[in-house]
Amino acid sequence: MKKLRKRIFLTAGYNTVSIGTGRKEFNPKKQMPGLEHYMKEAGQASIAAVGGAQHIDECVVGNFMSARFNKQAHLGAFMPMIDEGLRYKPAMSVEGACASGGLALLAGVRSVLAETADMVLVIGIEVQNSMKAIYGADVLAGAGWFHKRKEGHAYFFPGQFSNRAGAYFDKYGRDYARKGFARWYQNAIENARLCPTAQEFENKTEDLEKLALIEPNPSAFTDFLNVFDCSKVSDGASSIVVASEEGLKKARIPLSEAVEITGWGQAEEDITKEPDDLTRLSTMAESVKQALQSAGITINDLATIELHDCFTIAGILAMEAIGFAKQGEGARFVAEGHTSRNGKIPVNTTGGLIGWGHPTGATGVHMAVTIWEQLTGKAGKAQIKISHERPYGLSVNMGGDDKSLVALVYRKAE
C-alpha cells in the first residue's frame, strides 16, 4: 500500500516556552497562563507565517487531558478564538495519550491526502501545572489501563518505567545501565541550554552526570529511577502547518521554508496487556520499521532523531528499538556519546522531553517543529550540521507505555 499519493509538506513551525519548574517565569503560587493563552500564541504565529488565516482550510488540536487538568474539552471550537478568519472552518481535537500531537499531525496529513484541504493548522497543547504532581499522576494514569491503577505506584508512569529499568538492570547490569541513563540526562540538559524555549534552558548545574547518578529512593519515589530520570510536568503548545504543494504555492511559501514528509508509521498495542518483554519497546520498533519502509530509507540515512524520552530508560530502549544498538547495548551506545549533538546520530537536539519539556499533547508537534527547524537551518544555537549524505530526520512519538506510536520521516523540501 502506498501511503503518500502526493507530496506532503510541513512549514511555519512554532513553539511557545515550555513552562514548569526550572523556568524563572514559573510560580505555582500565582495564576499561570491557561489553554487559551498557549493556543493563541502558537496558532497566531503559524498563521502569520503562512500569510493569514485565509490560507488555512482545516484545523486539528492534539491534546491529552484538558477535560481533567483544565475542566475544558471541545478544543476544536477554540480555533476561531485564535483568528477570526478560522470561523466556520472545520476543526477537531485528537487524543492518543502522549502521542496526541503525532496523531494530530497524521490527521492533518490525511486531510491533505484526501484533498479536503491544502493547508491544515495543527496545534499540540497541554496545561497540566493546574494541579500538584501527585494528583496529576492520577490523571496521567489514564494513558495506561486505569483498571490497574490501584496496583500501580503512586507516581504511576514513573513506576511503570521504573519496572522497565529494573528489568534492564537484572538482564544487563545496574551500574552499566545507570551510566547510560546519566549520559542521556546530561545530553538532554546540555541541548536544552541551547534552546530559549526549553524548560531546562536556565539549568546551571555543573556536574550533570553526578546529579543524574543520585541513588533512587524507593520510599519517596520509585525503586529504580530518580527524579532526574524523568521528564517534568510542563505547560505549552507547538504549532505547524501541514500543506500540499498547491497550498505552499497559494501562500507563496518557497520550498526552502518547508520540509517534506516522506514516510510514516503508526502502531497500536493492547492497552489491557502487560509488555511481553519489559526490556523492549516492540510497538515503537514496529512504527519505525513502517516509517522507514514507506520512506524507502534505512537508519543510515538519518541526520537526526526526535524521540520520546519521557524517562531515561525510554531513551535507551528507543535506540535499541530504532536499530542503532542491539538489545542490551543501548546504554553503552549512549554512554559512549553516540547520541550527543556531535555523535553518530544527534538525538533530541533541543533537549527532548527531559530537557525541552513534555506538555503532553504538544510533544509530537514539538518534535516535528524541531526537525523542521533543523532541516531548514532555523534552529539557532541548537543547529547541527545536516549533510547531503544523510538528509533525513525521524520523529518517534509514544503514547502510554509503548501502546500508541507515531513515527514520521522528514526531508528538506526540494
Query: What are the pLDDT tens digits along the chain (414 aa)?
Result: 678 889 999 999 999 999 999 999 999 888 889 999 999 999 999 999 999 999 999 999 999 999 999 999 999 999 999 999 999 999 999 999 999 999 999 999 999 999 999 999 999 999 999 998 888 889 999 999 998 888 878 788 999 999 999 999 999 999 999 999 999 999 999 999 999 999 999 999 999 999 999 999 999 999 999 999 999 999 999 999 999 999 999 999 999 999 999 999 999 999 999 999 999 999 999 999 999 999 999 999 999 999 999 999 999 999 999 999 999 999 999 999 999 999 999 999 999 999 999 999 999 999 999 999 999 999 999 999 999 999 999 999 999 999 999 999 999 999
CATH of domain 8-132+233-256: 3.40.47.10
The answer to whether 304 and 371 are in contact (CB under 8 A) is yes
* DSSP H stretches of helix in 173-311: 174-192, 208-212, 245-250, 282-295
Q: What is the pLDDT of residue 1?
A: 63
Model confidence pLDDT, tens digit, residues 24-78? 999 988 888 999 999 999 999 999 999 999 999 999 999 999 999 999 999 999 9
Give the start-end residues of each E strand in 219-341. 235-244, 258-268, 302-307
pTM above 0.75, yes or no: yes
The closest of 139, 356, 141 to 235, measured between CA atoms, is: 356
List pLDDT tens digits, range 246-288: 999 999 999 999 999 999 999 999 999 999 999 999 999 999 9
String of DSSP letters for 26-84: --TTSPPP-HHHHHHHHHHHHHHHTT-GGG--EEEEE-SSHHHHTS---GGGGHHHH-G
Every domain of the chain and the residues it spans:
8-132+233-256
Query: What residues contact residue 182 under an 8 Å CB cut-off, 6+ apart?
Result: 208, 209, 212, 213, 312, 335
